[in-house]
Amino acid sequence: MESRIRVLFLIACALALSGCSLWPFHHRKHAEEPVPVEATAADGAAPAVVDPTVRRRKIKTPHIKQSNFEIGPYVGTFSVEDFGVNPVYGARLDYHISEDFFAEALLGRTNAGLTSYERLSGGAQLLTNSQRVLTYYELAFGYNLFPGEIFIGHRSFNSSLYVTGGFGGTHFAGDDRFTLGVGAGYRLLLNNWLAAHVDVRDHIFDIDLLGSNKTTHNLETNLGVTVFF
């Protein structure tokens, strides 16, 4: 009899302990349930979820002309080997193949001066006046070596340091001479359609006026402007 009473007592204690352990869990389950957004909004409280709606602002993109050609005149000095330094003028036409490479056509003209022999001889003329006119034309390819920009005051201007190389012909002293041309230049874009150039070129061709055939290096420096179209 006493053993039965002990068994019933233990069963009652077990049931009481299990009920105590389940009661806080039931209370916590109801406490952790999320409050609907509609209910909090109606009560004036902050919503539990951030509204994902974002107001887009209008952006105006700049209009940039896609012009691949540029053309313009230039003036400078031309040093014909053995014939002194004289003014030169010409024109250029460029086609930009890509942002890095461009093709260039050149046409220029100058008048050669007197050689040292002609000055010292007192009257001997190696060339006539018409033969002293030097005209050259070249087709070159260029590479924009250091594209970038410079700042003048509060304004910025796109610029590029480039190198060129090509070939063509030179008409001088009554003869046409095959010419190689190498050079370098600096381009400054003043706006989206106008640019300024500074160029240095070496025109290399053979000449035999002084009794022997030799390869001459004829340096040219010039300033020019071009228009993009």
> What is the CATH topology of the domain spanning 69-228?
Porin (2.40.160)
Question: Taking the CA of residue 56 as centre, how many other CA atoms within 13 Å lie in the half-sphere pointing to its CB?
Answer: 3
Cα of 207 vs its chain's centroid, Å: 40
User: Domain residue spans in the chain?
Assistant: 2-43, 69-228
Question: Across residues 20-44, what is the average pLDDT?
Answer: 49
What kind and span of H or E run contains 117?
helix 116-121
Give CA–CA dist 216/136, Å, rounded.
Answer: 14
pLDDT in tens, 159-201: 999 999 999 999 999 899 999 999 999 999 999 899 999 999 9
Tokens matching residue 28: 């916590």
SS (H, E, C) 122-159: CCCCCCCCCCCEEEEEEEEEEEEEEEEEEEECCEEEEE
Helix (H, G, I), strand (E, B) or coil at 211: coil
Q: What is the largest CA-CA distance in the chain?
A: 157
* pLDDT value of residue 22: 46
Tokens matching residue 64: 């940039």
Identify the band that residue 119 occupies on the pLDDT scale cut at 50, 70 and 90: confident
* pLDDT value of residue 62: 53
In this predicted structure, the answer to whether residue 86 has a pLDDT above a threshold of 90 is yes
* pLDDT value of residue 41: 47
Residue with tokens 């107001």: 55
* pLDDT value of residue 19: 52
* pLDDT value of residue 31: 46
Instruction: Kindly report the pTM of this predicted structure.
Output: 0.70
Question: Across residues 195-218, what is the average pLDDT?
Answer: 92
Question: Across residues 86-115, what is the average pLDDT?
Answer: 95
Query: Mean pLDDT, the chain, as a whole number?
Result: 83
Question: Across residues 211-228, what is the average pLDDT?
Answer: 93
In this predicted structure, the answer to whether residue 152 has a pLDDT above a threshold of 90 is no
